[in-house]
Amino acid sequence: MNRILASQLRRPHGWFGSLVVSRVMNRINRKITVTTLDLLDIDPDQHVLEIGFGGGIGIDELLRRVPQGAVSGVDISTTALSKAQRRFRKQVDGGRLRLQLGDVCQLPFPDHTFDRVLTINTIYFWPDTAKGMREIYRVLKPGGAAAVSIRSGEKMRQHGVTKYNFTLFSGEDVSRIMQQSGFKNVRVDHRDQEHWYDQVIVLGTR
């Protein structure tokens, strides 16, 4: 069962991914999503990218925070993409939101496209962590900021599902990878360390 759940968390698919996993992801990720967006200090007219939007909780929050800007989202799951396209059809049709299939290691955007980039609880599944981080750096505008948010490896090891196809990180691990990819002003914000689900938000600027 843990192996099946791990596969769904990496790439939600089928009716189970659409109806169950997306709802669970939204509930579990709500707090860390809000914290991440608060720390990114997003202006209402900026262009923001979420990588791995999953159940759509981040997209929903971003649309409220950038009423004069634009939101883009990429996800490797066709199930997540289809569900988000239905949920946010009005915003997609109106041009405020662009959703598409995409892999962090080959983002489908030109250099220097976004003011802010975020990704929450996805780095565990990246096929090439360094390449993915360099891609985030590439699509950021000069002076832009990115956040890579995770649960700490210490906490994640307590969940049986993470034995399958997860690569676990500490905040310091992510910080080091960001610095090696060119990010400046890298800092780690670690909250809820006493809770089962902690919040580790690693931020850097281009």
pLDDT, tens only, 148-186: 999 998 888 877 667 667 899 999 999 999 999 999 999
Q: Answer yes or no: is pLDDT of 10 > 70.
A: no
State the chain's mean pLDDT as an integer: 89
Q: What is the pLDDT of residue 197?
A: 85
Residue spans of alpha helices (H) in the chain:
2-10, 14-16, 22-40, 57-65, 78-87, 89-93, 129-139, 153-156, 171-180
Other CB atoms within 10 A of residue 1 CB: 7
Q: What is the pLDDT of residue 153?
A: 86
Q: Which amino acid, one-letter code, is at 67?
A: P
Q: What is the pLDDT of residue 29?
A: 84
Q: Answer yes or no: is pLDDT of 60 > 60.
A: yes
* Token code pair at residue 96: 């405020």
Q: What is the pLDDT of residue 94?
A: 95
CATH entry 3.40.50.150 includes domain 2-205: yes
Who has greater pLDDT, 197 or 190? Answer: 190
Who has greater pLDDT, 198 or 2? Answer: 198
- Domain boundaries defined on the chain: 2-205
| Phi and psi, residue 119, nearest 5° | -150, 135
pLDDT, tens only, 13-47: 554 444 555 566 667 789 999 999 999 999 999 99
Environment class of residue 22 by beta-carbon count within 10 Å: exposed (0-12), middle (13-18) or buried (19+)?
buried
- Are 141 and 113 in contact by the 8 Å Cβ rule? The answer is yes
| Distance (Å, whole) CA 196 – CA 14 | 29
